[in-house]
Amino acid sequence: MTTLIQNGTVLNADSTTRADVLIDGETILAVAANIPAANHQVIDATNLLVMPGGIDVHTHLDMPFGGTVSADDYFTGTRAAAVGGTTTVIDFALQARGHTMREALEIWRAKAAGKACIDYSLHMAVTDLGPNNQNLAELDQMVAEGIPSFKLFMAYPSVLMIDDGLMFKVMERAAALDALCLIHAENGSVIDIVVSEFLARGETAPHFHALSRSPLAEAEATHRAIAIAEMAGASVYIVHLSNADALLALHHARQKGLRALAETCPQYLVLSLEDQMPGRSWDEAKYVFTPPLREKKNQAPLWQALASGELSVVSTDHCPFRFSDQKSLGKEDFSKIPNGGPGIENRLQILWHYGVNSGILTPQQFVALASAEPARIFGMPTKGAIAPGKDADILLWDPAADYTITAATQSMATDYNMFEGWQVRGNAKHVFSRGLQVVADAKFIGNPNHGRFLKRQANAGGFA
Ligand SMILES: [Zn+2]
């Protein structure tokens, strides 16, 4: 089947043109002015921007954590992503200690089977290389399976944290494989002590979660990860960078010409300790995630780093838990509140409204941060642009649409929204995933058998 998207403005990271887009099956066949309607199904894109579908490189669907499981599975999670204009997600498979990466891969592929409404890929979170690092070669196997990115945790000592030696070992091998190392950069050993000190003083409310995880704990780990990556010759990507101190560590590394990249997330750009977590109520558990919300003064430097290109990507770290029966696990103790917030559906609305409408970012920079750079850095050459030969992952964006964000109408499976009641201008109108229309007039019309596992290429984060 052929579909013609007519009369729109085609927006890529490096160009803006008035053009029609012809889709043949799953692929973009042509991008040109005045393509005849012929026998094609025609979609009118008058006053719409025709851009590559969003790519969210940081999600946690159906993930066990803190005695429960994240509230969105692959169906509800990818459905919400699509409604928000995202057509590819990269989720995290978590290797359990004492088990292989292969097992983790099979577990996560099974979670996604028959449930993904859009294409998905996986990063592998490495927690264990076995006695004497005897399982190091599993990294090679993961790259061969199309998983050329490894997540390493410097936080959560009793569950996920690895020591610096293991980090170095993984980075050395990753460098040889042109794989990318993703780092959760927080000094977990120090944080755990601070947490126990708060609890011992009876400071158990959600507010203290935020206070227990200093910006310096993140900045120190950011610097350490980048330094160890430099020693190993590896490319490194800092996930969910949240504050100005950590940004400084990244800035120094990039000035030195190191292969260091980072993302931030909408929550750090528009939510703050002062506004959302002032220490008044249990409601603040809705904003318990790591790194925590920071003081407002950190927001401007993050926006500035997006505008300058120092931060490469905006992802969500979508890790949803219901307020009613999941966040409540930590009612008496903030350290037992499941860590994470919902955001997969609202990423592009927030980035457009507060980034583009406010004049901080150009529309082309928006596409770079939301789609093109994720595709390039994470080795997905068929994604991230509107051009002949690319997958027909297409977002028709209505920059004039007024939208009120609310849990009452959202597609995510949580009972709250972090941006409840916020009014934004700019929203996804129609969305195509490999040629199949999955959203029409902002309503989901896709299906859970459509999304495919996407094998990615090892390219050292675009530096190879
Ligand atoms: Zn995460």
Q: How far is the CA of 42 from the centre of ligand 1 (A)?
A: 39
Q: How far is the CA of 47 from the centre of ligand 1 (A)?
A: 36
Per-residue model confidence as pLDDT tens digits over 182-216: 999 999 999 999 999 999 999 999 999 999 999 99
CA distance 109 to 111: 5
Q: How far is the CA of 366 from the centre of ligand 1 (A)?
A: 22
Domain membership of residue 464 (yes or no) is no
Mean pLDDT over residues 412-436, rounded? 98
Per-residue model confidence as pLDDT tens digits over 348-397: 999 999 999 999 999 999 999 999 999 999 999 999 999 999 999 999 99
Cβ–Cβ < 8 Å for 104, 92: no
Q: How far is the CA of 21 from the centre of ligand 1 (A)?
A: 35
Q: Is 19 helix (H, G, I), strand (E, B) or coil?
A: strand
- Asked whether residue 411 falls in the same domain as residue 288, the answer is no
Number of domains in the chain: 2
Q: How far is the CA of 408 from the centre of ligand 1 (A)?
A: 25
Q: How far is the CA of 59 from the centre of ligand 1 (A)?
A: 6
- Asked whether residue 208 falls in the same domain as residue 340, the answer is yes
Residue 37 pLDDT grade (very low, low, confident, very high; cuts 50, 70, 90): very high
Q: How far is CA 132 from CA 21, 129, 166, 283, 349, in A?
A: 54, 8, 10, 46, 47
Q: How far is the CA of 281 from the centre of ligand 1 (A)?
A: 25
Residue 237's closest CA among 228, 226, 245? 226
Residue 312's closest CA among 123, 10, 58? 58
Per-residue model confidence as pLDDT tens digits over 87-127: 999 999 999 999 999 999 999 999 999 999 999 999 999 99
Q: Is 81 helix (H, G, I), strand (E, B) or coil?
A: helix
Residue 115's closest CA among 447, 437, 410, 411? 447
- Asked whether residue 258 falls in the same domain as residue 405, the answer is no
Domain membership of residue 462 (yes or no) is no
What's the CATH number where 87 sits?
3.20.20.140
What's the CATH number where 412 sits?
2.30.40.10
Q: How far is the CA of 238 from the centre of ligand 1 (A)?
A: 11
Q: How far is the CA of 190 from the centre of ligand 1 (A)?
A: 20
Residue 50's closest CA among 23, 69, 78? 23
* E strand map for 293-365: 313-314
Q: How far is the CA of 27 from the centre of ligand 1 (A)?
A: 31
Cβ–Cβ < 8 Å for 296, 304: no
Q: How far is the CA of 107 from the centre of ligand 1 (A)?
A: 18
Neighbours of 38 (CB within 10 A): 9
Q: How far is the CA of 297 from the centre of ligand 1 (A)?
A: 23
Q: How far is the CA of 400 from the centre of ligand 1 (A)?
A: 32
**DSSP structure class, residue 341:** B
Q: How far is the CA of 382 from the centre of ligand 1 (A)?
A: 25
Residue 1 pLDDT grade (very low, low, confident, very high; cuts 50, 70, 90): confident
Domain membership of residue 450 (yes or no) is no
Cβ–Cβ < 8 Å for 314, 240: no
Q: How far is the CA of 239 from the centre of ligand 1 (A)?
A: 7
Domain that holds residue 35: 2-51+383-444
Residue 150's closest CA among 170, 135, 121, 130? 170
pLDDT at 158 over 90: no
Q: How far is the CA of 268 from the centre of ligand 1 (A)?
A: 13
* pLDDT confidence of residue 366: 99
- Asked whether residue 162 falls in the same domain as residue 131, the answer is yes
Q: How far is the CA of 431 from the centre of ligand 1 (A)?
A: 26
Complete DSSP assignment for 167-212: HHHHHHHHHHHT-EEEEE---HHHHHHHHHHHHHTT--SHHHHHHT
* pLDDT confidence of residue 66: 82
Per-chain mean pLDDT for the chain: 98
Residues in contact with 159: Cβ distance below 8 Å, sequence separation at least 6, in sequence order: none
Q: How far is the CA of 425 from the centre of ligand 1 (A)?
A: 28
Q: Is 427 helix (H, G, I), strand (E, B) or coil?
A: strand
- Asked whether residue 333 falls in the same domain as residue 421, the answer is no
Q: How far is the CA of 29 from the centre of ligand 1 (A)?
A: 36
- Asked whether residue 305 falls in the same domain as residue 212, the answer is yes
Q: How far is the CA of 20 from the centre of ligand 1 (A)?
A: 38
- Asked whether residue 91 falls in the same domain as residue 233, the answer is yes
Please report, to the nearest 10 degrees, the dihedral formed by the alpha carbons of residues 351, 66, 142, 87 taken in order. Answer: -30
* pLDDT confidence of residue 81: 99
Q: How far is CA 366 from CA 33, 54, 412, in A?
A: 24, 10, 23
- Asked whether residue 21 falls in the same domain as residue 158, the answer is no
CA distance 201 to 343: 33
Q: How far is the CA of 317 from the centre of ligand 1 (A)?
A: 5
Q: How far is the CA of 92 from the centre of ligand 1 (A)?
A: 8
- Asked whether residue 72 falls in the same domain as residue 216, the answer is yes
Maximum CA extent, the chain: 73
- Asked whether residue 237 falls in the same domain as residue 275, the answer is yes
CA distance 334 to 232: 37
Q: How far is the CA of 137 from the centre of ligand 1 (A)?
A: 25
Q: How far is the CA of 7 from the centre of ligand 1 (A)?
A: 39
